[in-house]
């Protein structure tokens, strides 16, 4: 992440205040100047910035804050609460009909990631609501959009109703009939995207809305467009009354301009955030969690949700027992890699932990391909070797054969062996900790990695498994 990103700049401004015994009004003014610059550089709407600064200052310069205990922490809380307010206070889910078919209309400019977002929304609805979903391809101005939706539909197992490049209104009428006849629970309509908003496009969308009578009108907005996103939302909302926005291409907290401008400028709540190409890289937008991420407080709730989705509870319990009894083997390590992969990239997972945002430069250099390399090495072992790591430890011939079979070097295998040993040592260290030490660990997870003795190897490339 660039050092001048919204998150880094805001965290730096906050750190200047925390830990001080008292604050003066000039300290607050200095912080507010830095916050104002940070927001403007992140392309947050000027009016939003002005109100944001004004609200914080009014609360922060009160006698209760300046002369109270931990004034810096109290100011951080004020900033956090204001960030949350600007983005919408609480998460807003989808509105489904109690009985009958729910219809969703998606709108947005070309290139906003609308078609991909529809695929992700379909996966989300099927997974969380267990509903039968149909896509209707009504973006008739871009043939590639229809093809893309059909491809995504096949990939995720959702049926797509399409009639080629005929009039969009006809497609929607026929698609609705087909959905009712085949008892679909939810219909999601992909409408025309343009490079800019024009009268012809808007009239067509108004007509489609009249035919569809949607329960939700979701506007997809590219997070990288900054405050322009808010103006686009406002234009669509004035003519179509959108019920929510899907913020696409949102890479953690690196793009704050759109997220902080949309709700305040257009009045449309952000309902979902989408990042990455994977169909499960889609989540409900929680203003409070986003505010915590921006200020480097972590987002443990989202991490727990991701872990719950990716990790089987019985399997995790079994792994813990094996680690504690020192029977943890390469099969277990392979399962662990698969769980991590399901949750997303390692640097993204670490970003959810409180305090780890200060180590972002280091975590961004973590190469997830190293896990694939380690997996290949494990798969090159015999079943007996995977179950009993000592067989590999005590035989140089076995190590040479495994390395050769994986297309890697013995040095790479030695790094894998070290990774397995590190896991066991970390668990033993945790088991020997008292309550106070475990509490300290929850505040600073990096403590667990401290005082880990590195293996001293002979020659180049020996020792710890380097993730670079």
Show me where the domains of the chain are located.
6-87, 102-295, 304-449
How many other CB atoms are there within 10 angstroms of residue 392's CB atom? 24
Question: What is the CATH architecture of 102-295?
Answer: 3-Layer(aba) Sandwich (3.40)
Query: Nearest CA to 221 among 265, 188, 162?
Result: 265
CA 155 from centroid of its chain's CA atoms: 21
The DSSP bridge partners found for residue 134 are 159, 187
CA 269 from centroid of its chain's CA atoms: 18
Q: Can you give the C-alpha Rg of the chain in angstroms?
A: 26
Q: Under DSSP, is residue 173 helix (H, G, I), strand (E, B) or coil?
A: helix
Which residue bears the tokens 């200095």?
Answer: 30
The reported pLDDT for the residue numbered 299 is 47
pLDDT per residue of the chain (468 residues) written in tens, 0 to 9 = 333 367 777 777 777 776 666 778 888 888 888 888 888 888 888 888 999 999 988 888 775 566 665 777 788 888 888 888 888 878 888 999 988 999 999 998 887 888 999 999 999 999 899 999 999 999 988 878 899 999 999 999 999 999 988 999 999 999 999 999 999 999 999 998 776 677 888 889 999 999 999 999 999 988 777 777 788 888 888 889 999 999 888 764 445 577 788 888 888 899 998 877 788 888 888 888 888 777 766 544 555 555 555 556 566 666 666 666 667 888 888 877 777 666 655 555 555 555 444 444 444 444 566 777 888 999 999 999 998 999 999 999 999 999 999 899 999 899 888 888 877 777 666 566 665 665 555 445 445 445 444 444 444 444 444 433
The reported pLDDT for the residue numbered 160 is 96
411, two tokens:
């040095």
The reported pLDDT for the residue numbered 258 is 77
- Distance separating alpha carbons of residues 309 and 343, to the nearest angstrom: 8
- Alpha-carbon separation of residue 227 from 233, 253, 259, 264 (angstroms): 10, 15, 9, 11
DSSP 315-358: HHHHHHHHHHTT---HHHHHHHHHHHHHH--HHHHHHTSTTGGG
Query: Nearest CA to 39 among 65, 10, 64?
Result: 10
User: Domain 304-449 adopts which CATH fold?
Assistant: 434 Repressor (Amino-terminal Domain) (1.10.260)
- Distance separating alpha carbons of residues 52 and 78, to the nearest angstrom: 11
- Distance separating alpha carbons of residues 2 and 13, to the nearest angstrom: 16
The reported pLDDT for the residue numbered 371 is 74
Q: What secondary structure letter does DSSP report for 249?
A: S
Helix (H), strand (E) at residue 247:
strand 244-248
271, two tokens:
């309902």
- Distance separating alpha carbons of residues 165 and 177, to the nearest angstrom: 19
Q: Under DSSP, is residue 311 helix (H, G, I), strand (E, B) or coil?
A: coil
Question: What is the CATH architecture of 6-87?
Answer: Up-down Bundle (1.20)
Q: Under DSSP, is residue 51 helix (H, G, I), strand (E, B) or coil?
A: helix
CA 460 from centroid of its chain's CA atoms: 38
- Distance separating alpha carbons of residues 431 and 437, to the nearest angstrom: 11
């Amino acid at each position: 992440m660039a050092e001048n990103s919204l998150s880094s700049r805001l965290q730096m401004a906050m750190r200047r205040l925390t830990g001080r015994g008292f604050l003066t009004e000039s300290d607050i003014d200095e912080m507010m100047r830095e916050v104002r610059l940070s927001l403007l550089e992140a392309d947050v709407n000027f009016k939003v910035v002005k109100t944001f600064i004004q609200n914080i200052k009014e609360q922060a310069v009160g006698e209760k804050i300046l002369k109270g205990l931990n004034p810096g922490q109290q100011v951080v809380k004020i900033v956090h609460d204001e960030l949350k307010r600007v983005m919408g206070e609480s998460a807003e889910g989808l509105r489904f009909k109690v009985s009958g078919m729910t219809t969703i209309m998606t709108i947005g400019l070309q290139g906003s990631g609308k078609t991909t977002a529809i695929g992700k929304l379909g996966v989300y609805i099927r997974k969380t609501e267990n509903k039968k979903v149909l896509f209707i391809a009504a973006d008739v101005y871009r043939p590639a959009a229809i093809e893309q939706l059909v491809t995504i539909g096949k990939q995720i197992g959702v049926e797509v109703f399409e009639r080629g490049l005929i009039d969009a209104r006809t497609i929607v009428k026929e698609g609705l009939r087909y959905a009712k006849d085949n008892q679909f629970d939810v219909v999601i309509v992909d409408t025309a995207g343009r490079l800019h908003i024009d009268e012809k496009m808007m009239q067509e969308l108004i007509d489609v809305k009249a035919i569809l009578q949607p329960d939700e009108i979701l506007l997809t907005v590219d997070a990288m467009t900054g405050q322009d996103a808010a103006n686009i939302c406002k234009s669509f909302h004035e003519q179509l009354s959108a019920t929510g926005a899907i913020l696409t291409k949102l890479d953690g907290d690196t793009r704050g301009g759109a997220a902080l401008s949309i709700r305040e400028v257009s009045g449309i709540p952000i309902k979902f955030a989408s990042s990455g190409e994977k169909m499960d890289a889609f989540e409900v937008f929680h203003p409070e969690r986003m505010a915590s991420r921006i200020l480097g407080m972590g987002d443990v709730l989202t991490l727990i949700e991701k872990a719950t989705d990716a990790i089987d509870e019985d399997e995790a319990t079994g792994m813990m027992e094996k680690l504690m009894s020192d029977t943890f083997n390469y099969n277990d390590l392979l399962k662990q890699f698969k769980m991590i992969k399901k949750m997303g990239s390692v640097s993204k997972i670490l970003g959810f932990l409180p305090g780890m945002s200060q180590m972002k430069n280091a975590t961004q250099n973590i190469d997830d391909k190293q896990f694939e390399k380690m997996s290949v090495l494990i798969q090159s072992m015999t079943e007996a070797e995977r179950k009993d790591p000592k067989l590999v430890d005590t035989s140089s011939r076995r190590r040479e054969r495994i390395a050769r079979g994986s297309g890697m070097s013995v040095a790479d295998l030695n790094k894998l062996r070290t990774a397995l040993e590190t896991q066991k040592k970390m668990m033993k260290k945790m088991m020997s900790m008292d309550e106070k030490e475990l509490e300290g660990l929850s505040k600073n997870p990096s403590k667990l990695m401290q005082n880990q003795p590195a293996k001293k190897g002979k020659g180049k490339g020996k020792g710890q498994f380097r993730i670079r």
